[in-house]
Amino acid sequence: MKQYDDYTIREALHNCIAHQDYTLQQRINFVENPGYIYYANGGSFIPGTLQAALKTQGPQRHFRNQRLCNAMVNFNMIDTVSRGIKKMFSEQRRRHFPMPDYEIDAVNKEVAVRIYGNVINERYTQLLKTDETLTLQDCIMLDAIQKGRTIHEDIAQNLLKRGLIEGEYPNYSISLGIAKVTHQLPTYTKTKGLDKEKLRQMILQYLKNAGEEGAKRDSIYEYLKDVLPSNKTEEQQLRSLGDLLKAMKLEKLIRTDGRNWYLL
């Protein structure tokens, strides 16, 4: 399979040409990178938002460069009913590649798009292809999760109820069920981290080894950090560890003198 399909390459470039705001006297950029190709043109994004462009059912109401667009339509260079962007997303899904990434800068009047030529995870994207219950919007949201991005909480709740993702807002990951099916269990475990019971056992063993000298929280963190959730910041990891230590203290498993922690 080719790294990029011909339609997507042409459609993205022709959109830049057709919708460039030539009064800004800017260049159209086209850059090929190892894993993606990048396009950028000057001007506002006429549909307003990417979501609006993907939902469009009929022809676009106006064009920035009407005569240029008419000529490009006559030569079959651009889509006449504004399906081009949606078709690019569908083509990427069909080829099991990540969804395009649009960057819409209303302040600086620039629109950019990245078209990916490699997969996030071949087995995972194969699941997206074969699961007939998934809509294109589902795939776009799951793609965002794969890329570590934040999605709207209402959408996340829908994916959570269907068992496609898990976690707490805004840190979601693919679900354990999908991880098993797609053989992503090692990656899943690293992202999710060990469960609390395993962490408790590791803390108890560490404090047992520390003996009467005890151990500071930072030392315990250094011991555990490789098995804590990788999708959380260090501050979040330390806060979670602190909560776990306090809970274990209330259960009379460990104690502290304000500086060090000890096994009871």
Give 146's pLDDT tier (boundaries 50, 70, 90): confident
Indicate whether 1 belongs to any domain: no
Mean pLDDT of the residues in the chain: 85
Q: What is the mean pLDDT of residues 203-215?
A: 90
184 and 200 belong to one structural domain:
no
Q: What is the mean pLDDT of residues 151-165?
A: 87
CATH code assigned at 237: 1.10.10
81 and 42 belong to one structural domain:
yes
Sequence-distant (≥ 6) Cβ neighbours of residue 32 within 8 angstroms: 38
Indicate whether 230 belongs to any domain: yes
With a cut of 80, say whether residue 157 has pLDDT above it. yes
Residue type, 87: K
State the DSSP string of the chain. Answer: --SS-HHHHHHHHHHHHHH--GGG--PPEEEE-SSEEEEEEES--TTSSHHHHHH--S--S--SSHHHHHHHHHTT-S-SSS-HHHHHHHHHHHTT-PPPEEEEETTTTEEEEEEE-S-S-HHHHHHHHH-TT--HHHHHHHHHHHTT----HHHHHHHHHTTSEEEETTEEEE-HHHHHHTT-HHHHHHHH---HHHHHHHHHHHHHHHGGG-B-HHHHHHHHGGGS-TTS-HHHHHHHHHHHHHHHHHTTSEEE-SS-EEE-
53 vs 55: CA distance, rounded Å: 6
Q: What is the reported pLDDT for 104?
A: 94
250 and 220 belong to one structural domain:
yes
173 and 218 belong to one structural domain:
no
With a cut of 80, say whether residue 68 has pLDDT above it. yes
94 and 178 belong to one structural domain:
no
Query: Measured over all CA atoms, what is the biggest interatomic distance in the chain, rounded to whole angstroms?
Result: 84
170 and 258 belong to one structural domain:
no
65 and 51 belong to one structural domain:
yes
- Domain holding 171, by residue range, is 122-192
Give 12's pLDDT tier (boundaries 50, 70, 90): very high
Bigger pLDDT: 203 vs 177: 203
Indicate whether 67 belongs to any domain: yes
204 and 229 belong to one structural domain:
yes
Indicate whether 135 belongs to any domain: yes
Q: What is the reported pLDDT for 37?
A: 96
Q: What is the mean pLDDT of residues 149-175?
A: 84
Q: Where among 116, 138, 158 does a domain terminate?
A: 116
Q: What is the reported pLDDT for 172?
A: 83
Q: Where among 87, 116, 145 does a domain terminate?
A: 116
Could you tell me if 163 and 175 are in contact, meaning their C-beta atoms sit under 8 angstroms apart?
yes
Give 58's pLDDT tier (boundaries 50, 70, 90): low
186 and 231 belong to one structural domain:
no
142 and 79 belong to one structural domain:
no
CATH code assigned at 106: 3.30.565.60
Indicate whether 150 belongs to any domain: yes
41-50, 119-128, 207-216: the lowest-pLDDT one: 119-128
Q: What is the reported pLDDT for 123?
A: 59
89 vs 236: CA distance, rounded Å: 35
With a cut of 80, say whether residue 180 has pLDDT above it. no
Q: What is the reported pLDDT for 177?
A: 63
Q: Where among 90, 116, 142 does a domain terminate?
A: 116
The tens digit of pLDDT for each residue in 213-259 reads 899 999 999 888 888 887 788 888 899 899 999 999 999 999 999 88
Indicate whether 133 belongs to any domain: yes
16 and 111 belong to one structural domain:
yes
The tens digit of pLDDT for each residue in 237-250 reads 899 899 999 999 99
With a cut of 60, say whether residue 99 has pLDDT above it. yes
Domain count, the chain: 3
209 and 225 belong to one structural domain:
yes
With a cut of 80, say whether residue 25 has pLDDT above it. yes
Q: CA angle 6-9-14, nearest 5°?
A: 120
